A and B are shown apart, each in its own frame.
Chain A
Amino acid sequence: MDDDELITAIAAGDDTALRELFSRHAPWLAIRLRSLLPATDTEDVLQETFLAVWQGASGYRPGSAGGWLWGIARRQAALFLRRRGPATLELPGLLAINDSDGDPAEAALSGVVMARAAAALGPDGSPEREVWRLVYVEDRPVAEAAELLGVPVGTVKSRAHRVRRLLRVALRMGTATEGGAS
């Protein structure tokens, strides 16, 4: 049976199909997750992933089983991290998981990465850190941030632009050293 047939069978309640799907796909999913998470967390997330497969198989549209599975794994990893806290995850890994629109500042606001993200912007108190804190963390309008910082609105905007650029650079550098975390 090919992957599409297996998943259809799983949706119909066939547990042996789930077992077969697991033996085919768990190894590569584990490898991918392992590049992002420590071993015990990988095991937990992988378990949650396949339980989610068991429950959500009816929502699968035939196409790329691998992509669908990785999507579930990524979502489970994000859920897992949100419950557990930042632990030892690297910034690029987190961004790979929180794949939202490619805006690194938005992605970093998952609440989990703030310390790491902030560190990438320079020492505490630097202009970029302040803008980051006011505009992105505290979600204030640009005009208000400008008021609080005592600088023109245009300055706030250009600093925000710098914040985004710094994070993107940190991301790319991190990705290069990780050896390509997807």
Chain B
Amino acid sequence: MTGTNGPPDVDLDRVWTGVAAQVWLRRPGRIERLAARLLRSPGLARALVVTPSLLIGWVIATAVVLLAGMAATLGTHTPYVALFDPAVAAAGIAYAYGPGIDRAWELSQSMAVSDRMVLLARALAVFGLNAVFGLLASAASGAAVAVTFGWLVPMTAVCALALAAATLARSANVGVAAGMSGWVIIVLAGKAIAGQVTAAVASPSLVAPYLVFTACCGALVLYTTRIPRGAA
């Protein structure tokens, strides 16, 4: 790197590398450091922190949607939060995935911290974040307790659907579309059959089918991400 040389036994390139290492150093934030310790993997923590649907822009958008839902609920007594959150979470989770959103996906597939681990960590983080926001908004909007918590199970099912669709089709957009449309269909079907919009989130009899569906989608996701798929 240096033009003129110093003393023959002094490695100036090595000295510069030492300086550069400190000057170019990136110091992980508090959340990343905590995640690294909890997950016992600095790589996985970093991957989590750069997830598109966990970046500040997306998080703010989610909060805004739920606040709107909360306001709507307070006004009309229809639990919009319970209806919005699953859709938002499904979109967020689908956007945590693969070739649709990760431009360096081929390279990510050759990493020691496997893309599947990254996907699962991201999906859990997005789900968790949406669940917390949703619970707060739901509780603050005074909805009935059953509805406040009742939508967590359907949310899980819809997220699993979105993720399964995304991994099968290898496209985040397909996942979002599947999740959203799936949820809309369920809600409308609930309204048609039981007469109220909240049927999809408030009926205890649906819990078992939701969970079975979630398990199937989950298995599908594990299957499609375990075997690295060949290129078309």
Q: Are A and B close enough to touch in the complex, i.e. CB under 8 Å?
A: yes
Whether A23 contacts B23 by the Cβ 8 Å rule is no
Question: With A15-B24, A26-B16, A54-B23 as given contacts, are A46 and B10 in contact (CB-CB < 8 Å)?
Answer: yes
Q: Is B18 close to A, CB under 8 A?
A: yes
- Please classify how large the interface on chain A is, using the bins under 10, 10 to 19, 20 to 34, 35 or more: 20 to 34
Inter-chain CA distance A47–B23, complex, in Å, is: 11
Segment at the A interface, from B1-9, B74-82, B219-227:
B1-9
Q: Is B184 close to A, CB under 8 A?
A: no
Cβ of A16 to closest chain B Cβ, rounded Å: 10
Whether A31 contacts B6 by the Cβ 8 Å rule is yes
Cβ of B167 to closest chain A Cβ, rounded Å: 41
**A23: B residues at CB distance < 8 A:** 1-3
Cβ of B10 to closest chain A Cβ, rounded Å: 5
Number of B interface residues, CB 8 Å? Answer: 20
Q: Is A27 close to B, CB under 8 A?
A: yes
**B15: A residues at CB distance < 8 A:** 26, 30, 43, 46-47, 50
Find A42's partner among B1, B2, B3, B10 (CB 8 Å cutoff): B10
Whether B7 contacts A26 by the Cβ 8 Å rule is no
Inter-chain CA distance A18–B19, complex, in Å, is: 10
**A47: B residues at CB distance < 8 A:** 15, 18-19
Whether A39 contacts B19 by the Cβ 8 Å rule is no
Whether B7 contacts A34 by the Cβ 8 Å rule is yes
**Residues of chain A from 51 to 107 with CB closer than 8 A to chain B in the complex:** 51, 54
Find A43's partner among B3, B5, B14 (CB 8 Å cutoff): B14
Whether B9 contacts A39 by the Cβ 8 Å rule is yes
Cβ of B7 to closest chain A Cβ, rounded Å: 4
**Residues of chain B from 1 to 55 with CB closer than 8 A to chain A in the complex:** 1-7, 9-12, 14-16, 18-20, 22-24
Inter-chain CA distance A42–B16, complex, in Å, is: 13
Query: Closest A-chain residue to B3, C-beta based?
Result: A23
Whether B7 contacts A30 by the Cβ 8 Å rule is yes
Question: With A23-B2, A39-B7 as given contacts, are A15 and B12 in contact (CB-CB < 8 Å)?
Answer: no
